[in-house]
Amino acid sequence: MGKITIAIDGYSSTGKSTIAKRLAAALNYIYVDTGAMYRAVTLFALNSGLVSDKGDVDVEALIDKLSGIHLKFVPNKKTGRSDMFLNDENVEQEIRSMRVSAFVSPVAAIKEVREKLVKIQQEMGKDKGIVMDGRDIGTVVFPDAELKLFMTASPETRAARRYKELLEKGEEVTYAEVLKNVEERDRIDSTRTISPLTKAKDAIEFDNSDMGLEEQFERIYDFSQRVI
Ligand code: C5P
């Protein structure tokens, strides 16, 4: 078989992007982090004053402004990865903040936001040779993907990983805040009406709670070699 499509879905902070990035590099495939796209739209909403002090997103106003949101992934020679650009501004750092994490799930539940981003994602993957991670890649974006993985790990394991990452970046957060955010995003993502986070029937479930990066990569690389 030639180039395939690899869909990696799962809960927040299951290490999807770390594995997806590494797999894409090993296979010489394109890597796309769809969470970054939902995060960039959320940052746009926050910066445009479309989120009230009470934390409500002005859905109508955001839908109205969607056509003015331009997203681009630009390779970064220093990191060897791609940075997310929102209307020509590099927002890679900002989109990973807790401020964005706190509002991304309600924004990602908006039908029009999903329609816009899914269309861009499908276009990016039309020639295959792609590893894409997110919540609905195996169910909605590429239901015919040749390899689908569904990553899970306990909420505590995931929150601990995320907490460490945020501390390393210098964010002032507590473990309890991170755990609450991880659980809240999982709840909203799994119960929303449109494209809820759910395992595709033909996806391989992969629990990495007690697994190091090396072992995860080897196993997942092996899955890919059985299909390619
Ligand atoms: O992957 P990451 O945790 O950065 O994603 C941030 C949020 O974006 C998720 O909690 C979810 O609400 C949303 N998302 C989504 N569909 C995707 C990717 C991300 O709804 N394909």
Give the 3-state secondary structure of residue 16: helix
Q: Where are the beta strands (DSSP E) in the chain?
A: 5-10, 30-33, 71-76, 81-86, 89-90, 130-134, 147-152, 204-207
Residue 133 near residue 150 (C-beta atoms within 8 A) = no
**Ligand 1, atom 6, residue with closest C-alpha:** 35
Nearest atom within ligand 1 for CA of residue 16:
1
Q: How far is the CA of 32 from the centre of ligand 1 (A)?
A: 12
Q: How far is the CA of 34 from the centre of ligand 1 (A)?
A: 7
| Binding site listing for ATP | 10-18
Global ipTM: 0.99
Position 130 confidence tier, pLDDT thresholds 50, 70, 90: very high
Position 80 confidence tier, pLDDT thresholds 50, 70, 90: confident
| Rounded-to-integer distance, Cα 47 and Cα 105, Å | 17
Mean pLDDT of the chain: 96
Percent of the chain surpassing pLDDT 70: 100
Residue 57 near residue 45 (C-beta atoms within 8 A) = yes
Give the 3-state secondary structure of residue 95: helix
| Residue 24 to residues 67, 117, 190, 191, 197, Cα–Cα distance (Å) | 30, 21, 27, 30, 23
Half-sphere exposure for 132 (CA within 13 Å, toward CB): 31
| Rounded-to-integer distance, Cα 143 and Cα 133, Å | 13
Mean pLDDT of 180-204: 96
Q: How far is the CA of 101 from the centre of ligand 1 (A)?
A: 9
Nearest atom within ligand 1 for CA of residue 38:
8
Q: What is the pLDDT of residues 2-51, one digit of tens each?
A: 899 999 999 999 999 999 999 999 999 999 999 999 999 999 999 999 99
| Binding site listing | 10-18
Residues with CB under 6 A from ligand 1: 12, 34-35, 38-39, 104-105, 108, 134-137, 185, 189
Nearest atom within ligand 1 for CA of residue 108:
20
Q: How far is the CA of 105 from the centre of ligand 1 (A)?
A: 7
